[in-house]
Amino acid sequence: MQYQRSSALFKAAQNVIPGGVNSPVRAFKAVGGTPIFVERAKGAYLYDADGNKLIDYIASWGPMILGHAYAPVIEAVKSRAELGTSFGMPTALETQIAELAIAMVPNIDKIRFVNSGTEACMSAVRLARGATKREKIIKFAGCYHGHSDAFLIQAGSGAVTFGSPSSPGVTKGTAMDTLLAPFNNLEAVAQLFKEYPDEIAAIIIEPVAGNMGCIPPVPGFLEGLRSLCDQFNTLLIFDEVMTGFRLAKGGAQELLGIKADIVTFGKVLGGGLPVGAFAAKNEIMRHLAPEGPVYQAGTLSGNPLAMAAGLAMLQALHSDAQIFDRLAAKTEYLHEGLESVLKTTKIPFQINRVGSMISLHFTAHNVIDFKSTTSGNNQKFNNYFHGMLEGGIYLPPSAFESYFLNDALSYEDIDFTIKRFKKVIKSI
C-alpha cells in the first residue's frame, strides 16, 4: 500500500501539533513507521488519505460498537445541530439519556455527564474522597484511568510501596496518595489495607483491563476486592469507560456479577462524540454539587450533540437483544482463527478475550497483569502489525492495547483477516 499522502500530512502536523498527534499512541512510536491519516469511515471500514480501504479492529478505541457512521447516530446529531450546538443550560435530552442509562446499568440511581473518560474517573475519585473523608486510593499497575495526575503513577519496588510519578508534572505529593498493586493480585491489595486500614477512600479498577492488552480478572479477584471494600468501608470504583455498554447492557457489573459503588463510563456512551459519565447510588451521589459539597462542573457537560449521539447509540443497544451475543461470537471466531494459525507454528503466544475485546501476545507466559504483558516479543508484534496493515487490516498500533470489534464486521471480513494473518505469520 502507498501512504505518501499520510506521510505528508504527518510531516505538516508535526510543525504545529506536538509529535504530530493529539493522543500519543496515534504517532506509531510503539510500532514504527508513519501513522495513517483517515479521511472517512463507514461500517467496518476506514478509508485513509491515500485512498486505501482498511478493516477496522479498534473502532475508535471502542466507541464505534455498531460500526462507523451508524445512521441513527448521524441523523440524531444532524437534527440536534440544526437547533444549536451548545447552550450551557439544561436540556430535556440529558434527562432522557440519564433515564435510559440508569435503566440499563445495575446498582446506579443517578448519573452525571462529563466530557471524557478522564474527567469521569477524576470526578469519581474526588467523589469517593468526599464521601469517605479519606485521601488515599488504590490503583493497579497497567490500568489506565485517563491522564489525571492521580492516575499517572507507576509501581515502585512492590505493592506495599508508594508509587512514583510516571510523567513529569505529576507531583510527589500526588503519588503519595496513590497506592499500587499488581492486577489480579488480591494478596497485595489485602496488604495495603493492613498498612492503611482507615485511609483508603477507594479502589479504582478496570474490571477487564484494556490498556495492557485485554486482561480478564482471574476467578475470585473482583469478588475479593468487593469483600475488602466492604470490610474497610472503602468504595469500589469500576472504570467501565471501555467495558460499559460493550460487554453487556449493564457492562462488566452485569457480565461478571460484581457490584461496584461508583461506575465510570465513556466511549460507547457518546456514540463517537466526546462523552464521559460517572454514576452511583443516591447515598453517594448526594455528596455531589449542587446537592452536596463535592464540586464538579463543565461548560460543555451534557452537550446536546453529544447527548443526541449517545442516546441514539444506547437506544440501539437497548433494543437489540442479541447484539452482545453477536459481538462475542464474532470475537470468538476471530480468536479461534488466529489460534488455529499460530498452532501450526512454533511461535509462543497467548490470546486473551472477553466479549468483544481481544488481544494477542507473543509470549509463552499467561498474561494476567502488567508484568506478564511486558514479557511479549514486541518486535514480533511490530512485524505482525505492519504485515497486517499492508494487507488492509488496521490493528491497535501497540502491543499493549485491546482490539475492539464492531457489529458491522462480517464473517467474511474476519475470514479475510485470518487469511492475511496466515500469510504474515510466516515472516515475523
Model pLDDT for residues 375-388, shown as the tens digit of each residue: 999 999 999 999 99
Shared domain for 235 and 345, answered yes or no, is no
Shared domain for 75 and 118, answered yes or no, is yes
Shared domain for 375 and 296, answered yes or no, is no
pLDDT for 176 equals: 86
Whether the Cβ atoms of residue 185 and residue 158 lie closer than 8 Å to each other = no
Shared domain for 101 and 40, answered yes or no, is no
Shared domain for 53 and 97, answered yes or no, is no
Grid look-up 437489540 returns 320
Quick one: average pLDDT of 20-38?
95
Quick one: average pLDDT of 80-109?
98
pLDDT for 212 equals: 93
pLDDT for 259 equals: 98
Global pTM reads 0.95
411: left (phi over 0), alpha (psi -120 to 50) or beta: alpha
End-of-domain residue from the set 319, 350, 380: 319
Shared domain for 199 and 171, answered yes or no, is yes
280: Cα within 13 Å, side-chain hemisphere? 24
- Of 56, 177, 239, 407, which residue is the catalytic one? 239
Shared domain for 168 and 238, answered yes or no, is yes
- Of 57, 144, 394, 403, which residue is the catalytic one? 144
Whether the Cβ atoms of residue 86 and residue 424 lie closer than 8 Å to each other = no
| Number of structural domains the chain divides into | 2
Quick one: average pLDDT of 118-130?
98
Shared domain for 45 and 113, answered yes or no, is no
Shared domain for 143 and 252, answered yes or no, is yes
Quick one: average pLDDT of 357-370?
96
Quick one: average pLDDT of 35-41?
98
- Burial of 240 from C-beta contacts in 10 A (0-12 / 13-18 / 19+): buried
Stretch among 149-158, 229-238, 354-363 having the lowest mean pLDDT:
149-158
CATH for 31: 3.90.1150.10
Q: Is the pLDDT of residue 125 over 50?
A: yes
Shared domain for 86 and 221, answered yes or no, is yes
Q: Determine what percent of the chain is predicted with pLDDT higher than 70.
A: 97
Whether the Cβ atoms of residue 72 and residue 315 lie closer than 8 Å to each other = yes
End-of-domain residue from the set 291, 319, 347: 319
Stretch among 43-47, 149-153, 397-401 having the lowest mean pLDDT:
149-153
Shared domain for 8 and 128, answered yes or no, is no
Q: Is 144 a catalytic residue?
A: yes
Whether the Cβ atoms of residue 50 and residue 5 lie closer than 8 Å to each other = yes
- Of 136, 139, 249, 267, which residue is the catalytic one? 267
pLDDT for 170 equals: 82
Shared domain for 296 and 364, answered yes or no, is no
Whether the Cβ atoms of residue 235 and residue 131 lie closer than 8 Å to each other = yes
CATH for 309: 3.40.640.10
Pairwise CA distance, residues 234 & 55, whole Å: 44
pLDDT for 155 equals: 33
pLDDT for 147 equals: 87
Q: Determine what percent of the chain is predicted with pLDDT higher than 90.
A: 92
Q: Is the pLDDT of residue 213 over 90?
A: yes
pLDDT single digits (tens) 129-186: 999 999 999 999 999 999 888 887 753 223 333 445 667 888 877 888 999 999 999 9
End-of-domain residue from the set 284, 319, 354: 319
Domain extent at residue 94: 71-319
pLDDT for 160 equals: 33
Whether the Cβ atoms of residue 108 and residue 279 lie closer than 8 Å to each other = yes
pLDDT for 78 equals: 98
Query: Which grid cell sits at 296?
Result: 464538579
pLDDT class of 2 with cuts at 50, 70, 90: confident
Stretch among 83-97, 159-173, 217-231 having the lowest mean pLDDT:
159-173
